[in-house]
A and B are shown apart, each in its own frame.
Chain A
């Protein structure tokens, strides 16, 4: 069975292996000059405002000038876990059903549930392994960026830690399941892609900020504070934290809406005083809602658990469908 699994899926396995290797080489080629900007590590320059340390400020500005495309490039990499998982999952059953060979495969002396178990186990393991290798490349590439920006940004959190492997497993399960239901590889790929994008958006946009209760910092606005403007830019003190929202609250701790803040700005201009001074007089507080940077792994585990659970549910669906013998 192991030989059969390899023989049937070696073309996809080799192509995906080459794809991951090529990605690794590309990241290495792009990453080495970026890493060389920070000979003593990017962490030293972290959190410093430009101009504070000359060497750092030069390095950081060169980083944005020469490697500013990194974020855009990396967001494309979000599709790689899908490609890995779906290209192994879609043909698993669809190809057998499409070409009629399921009748050949399931009338040998291997019971079909064992056949399914071996295939799913081997290909899921391969999916996970390829995704982990990919994650390793990206994590290395992003070291300076992570040190400066933190690991909670979309182009970091979604590409590091456990998440990519879990995404790949989900794509694998979704494509396998779609292939079982649709009996064709290509429509299965398309369906799995739609499901992958939809679930990723829902999880990242709606669920992820609520994995744990965000922390809130509040402090009174100091008169003459240069960072005060209508948008609210309160910091947490650790630039690696994931800031969800910032804003102002009145003395009764009620959050102010943006129009209310604009009214204050207009009033401050009318009175000829600085906004910060006006706010200080009004007893306005600024607040920031955030997740501390050290929650990264907790969030990764929760995110991975969601996708692995979904993958398991889809694979159980596949198993039930095959077990029922309704083809």
Chain B
């Protein structure tokens, strides 16, 4: 991937709060024009990575580059190219929706007020209502409209749907995907709900125990991984170093392997794996010890 088609590039990125690392050794290169999901359990460092991306946090170690520039410089140019929707979509509660749009206009280089007003009127959100009086779903729509009206090249969303009911979730995704289709913006959003990602995302970054454990194009990841089911065996399974996870029932052993579809051994059957199972398998792996990330040691019987 060259620098020009890279929306976010991190190198050895780390962030420490006092004595605990929220994010460590994060090296990533994310492509433009994609919808990228950042997945991980609570406390995995998702918010930290996103805040580093939009320049709200400064890294403890390593570098981060967004659209070819460092967000830590905090210049109006960098800031105006990135839209951010923080967790729980914070808004000034005592501002009316119109006040919030005026806030957006007065604090941005380019702000498409007409676009925002159209989006909000389509959703039936009155401009003269105070933000605090809106429902959670409406608040998230207002926050999204504010972020989209910046006409950003990259839109970063931190758990945008975590606090929404299923109907509001669907509406939110529809608006988001409509904007992606219309403007071709790159979207990076975090979530711990896997099923809803499958429909909208084409790139995945998995964060666990403050480290990146898996990153790549979702289709590619799904073809690289497969499940092998065979007779129960507990010896020497990981000769090739490709086993991600091994589970054993009374008679069978199931292996999740990342071998890109090598020939299957006799008595073993290969099955494709779904995104949710793949994510869960990686999330189940225990925290690595030591500095380097051990790739394939988890739960493989010796």
B84 close to A4 (CB less than 8 A)? no
User: A111 in the interface, Cβ–Cβ < 8 Å?
Assistant: yes
Task: Tell me whether B90 and A103 are in contact (CB under 8 A).
Answer: yes
Cβ B84 vs Cβ A103 within 8 A: yes
Q: Which of B82, B84, B87, B107 has the most CB of A within 10 A?
A: B107
> Does the CB pair A3–B106 fall under 8 Å?
yes
Is the Cβ of B76 less than 8 Å from the Cβ of A1?
no
Contact in complex: B76, A109 (CB < 8 Å) = yes
Judging by beta carbons under 8 Å apart, are A325 and B58 in contact?
A: yes
For B84, what are the chain A residues with a Cβ–Cβ distance below 8 Å? 103, 107
B contact residues around A103 at 8 Å (CB): 51, 56, 84, 86, 90
B108 nearest CB neighbor, chain A only: A109
Q: Is the CB of B79 within 8 A of A107?
A: yes
Task: Kindly state whether residue B102 has any CB partner on chain A within 8 Å.
Answer: yes
Bitwise, B221-258 to A at CB < 8 A (1) or not (0) is: 00000000000000000000000000000000000000
Which of B57, B95, B104 is close to A325, meaning CB atoms less than 8 Å apart?
B57
> For window 107-147 of chain A, which residues contact chain B by CB distance below 8 Å?
107-113
- Cβ proximity bits B108-131 to A, threshold 8 Å, 1 near / 0 not: 110000000000000000000000
* Pick from B74, B91, B102: contact of A104, CB under 8 Å: B91
Residue-wise interface mask of A (65-109) relative to B, using a CB-CB cutoff of 8 A (1 in contact, 0 not): 000000000000000000000000000000000011111111111
Q: Among B57, B87, B107, B143, which residue has its beta carbon within 8 angstroms of that of A327?
A: B57
| Given A108-B104, A325-B57, CB of A100 within 8 Å of CB of B86 | yes
Residue among A1, A4, A105, A108 with most chain B CB within 10 A? A108
Report the separation of the CA atoms of residues A325 and B74 in the bound assembly, to the nearest whole angstrom. 11
Given contacts A110-B76, A112-B74, contact A327 B88 (CB under 8 A): no
Smallest CB separation, B109 vs chain A (Å): 5
Partner among A8, A11, A102, A113 whose Cβ is within 8 Å of the Cβ of B74: A113
Number of A interface residues in the complex (CB < 8 A): 25
In the bound assembly, the distance between CA atoms of A104 and B57 in angstroms comes to 13
Residue of B nearest to A108 (CB): B107
Contact B92 A110 (CB under 8 A): no
- Name the distance in Å between B219's Cβ and chain A's nearest Cβ: 31
* Bound-complex Cα distance A101 to B94 (A): 12
Task: Judge if A210 is at the interface, Cβ distance under 8 Å.
Answer: no
Total A-B contacts with CB atoms under 8 angstroms apart? 79
Judged by a CB distance under 8 angstroms, whether B271 is at the interface is no
Query: Nearest-CB distance from A185 to chain B (Å)?
Result: 14
Q: Closest residue to A3 on the B side, CB-wise?
A: B106
Query: Which residues of B, 15-74, contact A by the 8 Å Cβ criterion?
Result: 17, 51, 54-58, 72, 74
Separation in Å of the A122 CB from the closest CB of chain B? 14
Tell me the complex Cα distance, A246–B103, Å: 63
| B56 cross-chain contacts in A, Cβ below 8 A | 102-103, 106-107, 325, 327
- Taking CB atoms and an 8 Å cut-off, the chain B residues in 253-301 that contact chain A are none
CB distance from B145 to the nearest CB of A (A): 13
- From residue A87, how far is it (CB to closest CB) to chain B in Å? 16
Please, which residues of chain B bring their CB within 8 A of the CB of A327?
56-57
From B94, B106, B109, give the contact of A1 (CB < 8 A).
Answer: B106
Q: How far is the CA of A29 from the CA of B94 in the complex (A)?
A: 37
Q: Does A324 contact B (CB under 8 A)?
A: yes
Partner of B79, one of A4, A111, A325: A111
Taking a contact as CB atoms under 8 Å apart, the answer to whether A109 and B99 are in contact is: no
Other-chain residue from A1, A4, A100 in contact with B88 (beta carbon distance below 8 A): A100
Cβ-neighbour of A107 out of B55, B102, B106, B109 (below 8 A): B55
Q: Does B75 contact A (CB under 8 A)?
A: yes
A102 to B74: give the CA distance in the assembly, Å.
14
Collect the chain A residues with CB atoms within 8 Å of residue B143's CB. 104
Given contacts A103-B56, A107-B79, 5 further A-B contacts (CB under 8 A): A100-B88, A101-B91, A108-B79, A108-B103, A109-B76
Closest 6 CB pairs of A and B: A100-B90, A108-B107, A103-B86, A109-B80, A107-B84, A325-B58
Q: What are 26 A-B contacts defined by CB distance under 8 Å?
A: A1-B107, A3-B102, A4-B107, A7-B99, A99-B90, A99-B93, A100-B88, A103-B51, A103-B86, A104-B90, A104-B146, A106-B56, A107-B54, A107-B79, A108-B103, A108-B104, A109-B79, A110-B107, A111-B79, A112-B74, A113-B74, A324-B58, A325-B56, A325-B57, A325-B72, A327-B56
